[in-house]
């Protein structure tokens, strides 16, 4: 199992889920406005986004559990960012589930703000993970031909670095 968890295929699955998660965050923030609160179609799309977000967060929890089983708790959580990442994921799941279960407008508005903060924290942690993945892959595969996914990730990272300058 440890070999599979360290494989490129598994990394590509996680990167794909991260990209979907990022897209969901932007969709959610674009649609969740006071102007759209009365639009039933948009409210339905937001509920679908909730369920997809919850599914992706559960997959991330499963990833953490599998890595803990394969590498032991002490070894996996040696990196403090992974501890922080796990905490953010668990709290995000609790907030999404609570927001879906409770139909209280005041709780919902507070929950949206907190979940927004946790979403951006999660994106920060994900981009950190992608940068680590890029460094590891570049050191391992200096002489390998790049796959289309690697080329896309390289383009995205180059764009990000250019925007940061």
Q: In which element (H, E) is residue 34 found?
A: none
The whole-number pLDDT of residue 129 equals 65
- Dist CA 22 CA 42 (whole Å): 19
Q: Would you state the structure tokens that stand for residue 91, as one six-digit string? A: 């709290």
Q: Is residue 46 within 8 Å of residue 31, measured between CB atoms?
A: yes
Say what angle helices 105-140 and 8-31 make with each other, to 10 degrees: 150
- Dist CA 77 CA 71 (whole Å): 10
| Residue range 6-54, pLDDT digits in tens | 787 887 888 788 788 878 878 887 888 778 878 889 889 888 988 998 9
Q: What is the largest CA-CA distance in the chain?
A: 57
pTM over 0.85: no
Could you say which DSSP state residue 37 is in? T
| Residue range 58-97, pLDDT digits in tens | 998 998 899 899 888 888 888 888 888 888 889 888 888 8
């Amino acid at each position: 199992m440890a070999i599979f968890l360290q494989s490129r295929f598994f990394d590509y699955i996680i990167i794909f889920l991260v990209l979907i998660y990022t897209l969901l965050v932007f969709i959610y923030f674009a649609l969740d406005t006071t102007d759209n609160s009365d639009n039933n179609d948009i409210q339905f799309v937001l509920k679908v986004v909730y369920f997809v977000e919850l599914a992706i967060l559960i997959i991330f929890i499963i990833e953490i559990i599998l890595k803990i089983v394969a590498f032991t708790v002490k070894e996996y959580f040696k990196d403090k960012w992974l501890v922080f990442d796990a905490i953010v994921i668990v709290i995000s799941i609790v907030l999404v589930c609570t927001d879906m279960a409770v139909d209280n407008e005041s709780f919902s508005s507070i929950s949206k703000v907190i979940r927004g903060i946790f979403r951006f924290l999660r994106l920060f942690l994900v981009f950190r993970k992608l940068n680590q993945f890029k460094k590891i892959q570049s050191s391992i595969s200096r002489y390998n031909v790049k796959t289309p996914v690697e080329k896309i990730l390289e383009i995205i990272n180059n764009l990000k670095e250019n925007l940061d300058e």
